[in-house]
Amino acid sequence: MQSFLVIGKPIEKAKNYALDFCLKSKIDKIDITLIESEKAVGIAQVRDFQKRIFLKPLKSEQKAIILNAGNGLTLESQNALLKVLEEPPKNTIIILLVESDESVLPTILSRCKTISLEKDIVEQKDLDEYVKIFLSLKNNGVGDRLKLAEDHSKDKETALRFIEGLILSTENVLRTSPKKDLADAIKLMQKTYTEIKTTNANLRLAMENLLLNLFN
């Protein structure tokens, strides 16, 4: 894997780690690109990132593109990053800097090797149970969906963990069965995930709205 997510607070801690990592990897300074933003990284910064990523290294065998997202990332910019994080050019190392893993979507986390300077590396979740839930959703009636929403809206952490598992399991299915309804489902889950994480949304209503509208 050539895509890394470095978590550090303050963000300068993550930046210094990334630069030191590049130098230890024998990447010349001229082949290290740092993209920063005074506000949340938006689609403009991602487009700049995408332009630079396919340039050839000048002095080193590989180059590094560092995207400083210490001020956060918009949902649009995260979705635009997904493809390139999964399949970066072979001669390129991508490093995304954030202050907290809560600022990024689970689909971003799944595409990166996470290096936390605050705690141990994030564990890989067991998605078997979520796959079962996902596969059963299309056949679930209103009552079953409302019960599922009730069971997973007891607190914000529970709701976010549940949606995260659903997103990752749906994405796994999407890779082998590229269908529009699956892509639409992921977009709806990402929107709900961001709403719950960043606002004081009513958890029960948000979960009910999500589960009642999936695949409908």
Considering the domain architecture, whether residues 10 and 32 belong to the same structural domain is answered as yes
- The percent of residues in the chain predicted with pLDDT above 90, rounded, is 27
Considering the domain architecture, whether residues 188 and 87 belong to the same structural domain is answered as no
pLDDT of 205 higher than 90: yes
Q: Domain limits at 109?
A: 3-116
Considering the domain architecture, whether residues 94 and 169 belong to the same structural domain is answered as no
pLDDT of 177 higher than 80: no
- The model's confidence at residue 127, banded by pLDDT at 50, 70 and 90, is low
If 0-12 CB within 10 Å is exposed, 13-18 middle and 19+ buried, where does residue 24 land?
A: exposed
Last residue of a domain, one of 79, 96, 116: 116
In a domain, residue 184? The reply is: yes
- The model's confidence at residue 124, banded by pLDDT at 50, 70 and 90, is very low
Between 142 and 101, the more confident residue is 142
Considering the domain architecture, whether residues 109 and 168 belong to the same structural domain is answered as no
Between 216 and 45, the more confident residue is 45
Q: Which amino acid is at 102?
A: E
Count of domains for the chain: 2
pTM of the model as a whole: 0.60
Residue 119 and residue 66: Cα distance in Å, rounded? 21
Q: Which amino acid is at 202?
A: N
Label residues 130-148 b or e (16+ Cβ within 10 Å = b). bbebbeebeebeeeebbeb
